[in-house]
A and B are shown apart, each in its own frame.
Chain A
Amino acid sequence: MNDRHFDNIKDLPSTHLLGVGTALCAGCGGLQALREVCDVLGEKTVIVNAAGCMTLLSVYPFTPFHGSWLYTSMASAPAGAQGVRDALDILIDKGRIGPEEDLNVVVLTGDGSAYGMGLSATSAAVERGLDFLYLCYDNEGYANTGHQTSAATPHGAKTATSTGVHGFRGYKKDLFEIWAAHRPVYAATVIGSEPVDLARKVEHAAGLKGPRFILALAPCPVGWEFAPDKTVEIGRLAVDTGIWPLREYVDGRIRHTKVPHPRAPVEEYLRLQGRFAHLFEPEHDDGTIQEIQDAVDDYWDEFD
């Protein structure tokens, strides 16, 4: 790839490759991350999309992409990516198209597919060593169908299907660790509100060959219940509270690219979101809030 270094906000690309005016919600944290990713990856990209919120980006006859796009289905985007990658490789190998026609193959998926029904196809693609970048926007629920619980829903959150007094009783699946266990060439967590960290990781991933994973926490105004202008603030708090560790997997090792110190109490993050309102009103649910804090503390204790 290019020899670009992203040290501060001024280094970020000034040309934006994702068009505006799509059907997505105001303040979408997934769109924020995707926009930043597209700017770094450039135009020579084909996005293979799994069913999710982002399906509505390209609605006939419009598309916001400067590159290419293929909608597949909820469970089979990695298989679609394999087909596109193989076709390009074979055509280039046979000399039927020039290497300048090559494309970065990118899977775009939400957490519903990435943590759930798409996981088998994803695992198989990584096992085959597919040369692709896998981007998941994780809004912690089936957001475009009314925010039902997904395998990425965090402990204590209220969703359309977890309506009890303590919210969702399970714990968020650690998809980053699941990917790391596959020994991909690269895996990283990002968030749109940390654009320099995101750009650095995407740039690094774009220069590698093989299975690469970018997992973006995607604050969702509709599903998480906050005003669209709070997306960045909530994203920053996700990092500052330690709830969303920014990390990367390189050469078999996991390291943090930002260590929040001291960590803000999780309550600051939870209070801003309607999906956690039941933890504060009508009564303060000390137990559940403590469980969330303990899980964060336990995670960071390993590294402190």
Chain B
Amino acid sequence: MDVFVRKFTGKITGWLAYGYAKTQRTADTLTFPPSHDRRHTLNVVMQAPGPLRGQLGVRLGFGSPLPYTGIVGQWLHRNYNSELHVFDHFETESVSREINGERFPFYARIDVGLRWRVEKWGGVLRPYVQVVNVLNRKNVWVYAFDYDQVPPTRSGLSQLPFLPAVGVEFEF
């Protein structure tokens, strides 16, 4: 189900989009939610007059938790040496729970941008300042587990961090 509302008039314009979805996959006898099974998705985009006669843009993104497969241990996947009949090397691999049986924390991000428009040198200059992920929320990209130590730990990588950018466009 999708809902889309847009405002065209007034000083403040923008739109709101909401989506509700539920997805399942079946492989052989196994049914599980795929990695993109996100129940709720909300995007709010707003434009308004900014300082110094610029234009302010704000975008809010929210996503309910995505599934991932939980890790409960690590095993040594050994390499068999057929010449000598020994296992002589190994690779450490994860032991998982049921497929996509757990969920990451929810996703949320706010981006803010300011743009100006100046006619110059026979063209149009558009300087801008923007910040991605203003609140520096660490939205999870991937987890990494270490069960080879006591106590076991979880680390990982997040998606885009607080990311400021400055630039200028010139149209002629």
- Chains A and B are bound partners: no
